[in-house]
Amino acid sequence: MTNQELLMSHISKLSEDEISSLLDTVTVMLQEKEPAPKPACPHCAAQAVIRYGFKCKKQRFFCKNCGRTFVTTTNSIMANSHFTVSVWKEMIADTLHGNSIDFSAKRLGLYHQAAFDMRHKILMALLELPVVADICLGDVSEFDETFVLDCYKGKKLDTGIGRKPRKHGAKALKRGISSEYLCICTGIQRKGDAFAATVNRAKPSARELGSIFEGHIADGTLALCDGLRSYHALTGIADCTVRDCMNQECDDAHFFNLNTVNGFHSFIKKRYEFYRGVASKYINRYNALFAATYRNAESIIGRLTETVLAVTGTSYYHNNKDIRTAGILTI
């Protein structure tokens, strides 16, 4: 008896429900074996792509239009990484949910340094994500600044810094605002997006506010602030109206207030305390994280995962040298 005849004899003994279940299982198995669709060329965006063997156990493609080759991780944050897509997805979710690096390293079975590098590659990609980088505040938006202690985690304290090392949870040596604090300038649209950036330690000047918010305020915006004169510089970068919430009549207090931006400040400080501070040179990477996840963490996780793990014409790849040198704050 041939194998085919033996198989048919076994199938003939099955009930209709068992045959239906068997067909469903076979269909799923065949679908899993189907090759994934071929991506467009990340170099020229052409669709004339063929499979071209493997490189480092990754499917390689050849573009007939430009003659260049690429793999399934070209231009993504996974380029030159040995970790799987599932590990990167979990790391992205942990990062945007505010989990610590040590927590992610233990949960995913990674060394601390590997988890640190993955975290900062994700933060740098988040800074470049259009939905974060191109934020434009409009309608009624609130602007204010908050202050957090500087931090030198991961390095020995420089002798010229003017203070002794602090223990986790320690306070500043002086009361009030001092050179030990970093200024985080924030803007948030009521029922909309948020934006945060750091450029100095003291109260922001008009020039600094202009450099921070240029391109991030829409024309016709009503900008509410706490009376700091520097915020009137916003009218020089957009056709907006700046109003001081501190000098309003009592009847208007229900509208002219900074409750929304103060809530954003509370969120920033809670995350900052949970992390036990972040290295000051990396503060703007975390500012982007705070702004992106304040109201819509889940949607940002989906967009970030879909964008930076795919083969696209935009490169989101950063090597380990970039992590330590690119876009760091030096004040």
Domain containing residue 151: CATH number: 3.30.420.10
- Co-location of 168 and 26 in the same domain: no
- Co-location of 152 and 294 in the same domain: yes
Note down the domain range covering 274.
132-298
Tell me whether residue 316 is in a domain. Answer: no
Rounded Cα gap, residues 292 and 286, in angstroms: 10
Tell me whether residue 330 is in a domain. Answer: no
Rounded Cα gap, residues 149 and 172, in angstroms: 7
Tell me whether residue 47 is in a domain. Answer: no
The torsion of the CA quartet 98, 103, 108, 109, rounded to 10 degrees, works out to 160
Return the residue matching tokens 């004899």: 9
Residue 18 tokens, joined: 């068992």
323: nearest Cα among 101, 107, 135: 101
- Co-location of 174 and 291 in the same domain: yes
3-state helix, strand, coil in the chain (%, to 5): 45, 15, 40
- Co-location of 23 and 161 in the same domain: no
Instruction: Quick: pLDDT tens for 241-276.
Output: 999 888 766 556 678 889 999 999 999 999 999 998
Tell me whether residue 126 is in a domain. Answer: no
- Co-location of 160 and 294 in the same domain: yes
Structural domain count of the chain: 2
**Which residues, given as ranges, of the chain have pLDDT below 50?**
none
Rounded Cα gap, residues 86 and 28, in angstroms: 21
Give the pLDDT confidence score for residue 2 in this predicted structure.
73
* Cβ count within 10 A of residue 40: 16
pTM of the full structure: 0.83
- Co-location of 142 and 287 in the same domain: yes
Give the pLDDT confidence score for residue 160 in this predicted structure.
66
Phi, psi at 91, each rounded to 5°: -70, -40
Residue 43 tokens, joined: 């170099």
Tell me whether residue 235 is in a domain. Answer: yes
Tell me whether residue 309 is in a domain. Answer: no
Tell me whether residue 205 is in a domain. Answer: yes
Tell me whether residue 82 is in a domain. Answer: no
- Co-location of 289 and 162 in the same domain: yes
H or E, element range at 234 = none
